[in-house]
Amino acid sequence: MDDHTAIFLRVLLAFGLAVAGGGISAAVGVSHQRLCALISLAAGTLLGVTLFAIVPECRESMQWWELLVALASGYVVFVLISKYVYHVCPACAASHFDETTTHRFSEIAGALIIALGVHSTMDGIALVAGHEGHHHHTDMSMLLAICVHKIPEGLALGALLLGAGYPRRRAVVWVALVESTTLLGGLVGWLALSHVSGFWLNAVLAHAGGGFLFLAMHAVLGELVKHGKAVVLANFAGGVALIAGLHWVVDHLP
């Protein structure tokens, strides 16, 4: 399989899982307890891929201060979007989607779509950057973390749309439209990162890692405030362990 096909399949899989999450939410619904568990698991995978894949790989071609600046840039971008536009990820902000929020959906729809568009575009770029780095650990970890994250993202967005009064089919269509920016991010990454140096490729990876750190911390803290600490922490630890276990398996493959 050539690189272009591999990139296309990775981005398409992430997009498909998010839409599938929206479809499940529209068809059968999902309890917030289950969504909370999935959110915490996904947050753990995002932290795991940053700690075990992105940081070690980027450290090979970047000074510590360069790595910290790149990580901080991704974190700050998501902080600013969440503060001045809207929550950058519906899964991470699921606890904020109360009855008042859903009733006001028409007022916040534009801001939400912009925020999610930036987030999903970054997901697509991160998938390309992980693959272009030619580090099997990072490529597989990035793919797993983003795919796990996309499922509760689609579930949460679908639940918000249904709560706002959207018909089931229309809710799924809107989930697909919003999440299609993942495909856009894959295209942007493929066009922009195919011929850049290792340093700049790692800078993009670290920038994505900073965004992942924000998403992971925001998700866990938000769920800890609203729900049982045991469920949140157990699933979060499970997500981190999942990425660590993947690294161990890849290291010991013949």
State residue 139's pLDDT score.
85
Q: Please give the share of the chain, as a percent, with pLDDT higher than 90.
A: 45
Mean pLDDT of 70-90: 87
Query: Which of 53, 47, 40, 45 lies closest to 250 in space, CA to CA?
Result: 53
DSSP class per residue in 63-84: -HHHHHHHHHHHHHHHHHHHHH
Residue 98 has pLDDT above 60, yes or no: no
* pLDDT at position 206 over 60: yes
Q: Which of 29-33, 36-40, 135-139, 182-186 has the highest mean pLDDT?
A: 182-186
What are the pLDDT digits (tens) for 177-196? Answer: 999 999 999 999 999 887 88
Q: Which residue has the tokens 């809207």?
A: 86
What is the 8-class DSSP label of residue 157?
Answer: H
Contact 50, 211 (CB under 8 A): no
Region 72-86: what's the mean pLDDT? 91
Asked whether the predicted pLDDT for residue 100 surpasses 60, the reply is no
Q: Tokens 């991010």 label which residue?
A: 185
* 131-163 confidence digits (pLDDT tens): 886 677 788 889 999 999 999 889 888 887 887
pTM of the model: 0.88
Cβ-Cβ contacts under 8 Å for 167 (sequence gap 6 or more): none
| 179 contacts 120 by C-beta, under 8 angstroms | yes
Phi (first) and psi of residue 47, to 5 degrees: -65, -40
Is the separation of the CB atoms in 216 and 46 below 8 Å? yes
